[in-house]
Amino acid sequence: MQKIVIFASGSGSNAEKIILHFNKISRVNVVGIFTNNSNAKVIEKAKKYNVPVVVFSKEELNEGKVTVLINQIAPDLIVLAGFLLKFPNEIIHAYPNKIINIHPALLPKYGGKGMYGMKVHQTILDNHEKETGITIHYVNEHYDEGRIIFQKSVNIEKCTTAEEIAEKVHQLEHQQFPKVIERLLDDSIIG
C-alpha cells in the first residue's frame, strides 16, 4: 500500500479531488491531511472521507514536531496542495523527490515568496498575459524552484477578472493533479 500525506492551508479543493481519485485505487491511500490552519475548510473535507487530520503551528513545523509525525507515517509521497508555509529543509532532505507542490502559474514566471492564490492571478491579469496554467514541481529549499514535473497551459485572453483566471486554473488543477500523482507513484513502483 502506497501512502500519501497532503499538506494544505485552505479550502482543500485539490485535497478533496486527490482523496476521491485514490479512493478508487486500492493500492494507494491518503493517510493524513496536515494543516497549519485550525479553521481551514480542508479539515471538514478530510473528515467527510475519514482521513485523519493533524493541525499544527508554524513553531511545531519549524521545531521538528511535524517531522517526527511524518517519519512515523513514512509516506511514499508528500503533496503540498495550497500549503502556504515554507517547507522545512529537514523534511525536504529526508524525502528527496518525494515532496511535490502545485503552483497556479507557469513557472518560472509568477513564482517565489508571496506569489500564491489570487495574488498570482491578479498579477497575471495586470500583465495582460494571454495564457497561464499550472506547474507541478518537486519541492526544494527555495519557493517554487524545484525541478518541474508537469505543466499545462490555458488560454485566458477572454478573462477580465482574476476570479475568472482562478476558475480556469482550478479546473486544470482538479483535472491534472491527481493524475500526475498517480503517474509518479506508478513510476516509483517501477523505478
Instruction: Tell me the catalytic residues.
Output: 103
Of the chain, the end-to-end C-alpha distance in Å amounts to 16
Task: Judge contact between 144 and 79, C-beta under 8 A.
Answer: no
Q: Which helix (H) or strand (E) holds 138?
A: strand 131-138
Task: Judge contact between 172 and 154, C-beta under 8 A.
Answer: yes
Q: Which three cell numbers stand for residue 177?
A: 493533479
Cα–Cα distance measured from residue 133 to residue 173, given in angstroms and rounded to the nearest whole number: 9
- To 10 degrees, the CA torsion angle through 14, 6, 22, 17? -10
Q: Which three cell numbers stand for residue 19?
A: 482523496
Q: Which three cell numbers stand for residue 18?
A: 486527490
Task: Judge contact between 88 and 44, C-beta under 8 A.
Answer: no
Q: How far is CA 73 from CA 49, 57, 70, 119, in A?
A: 19, 19, 5, 34
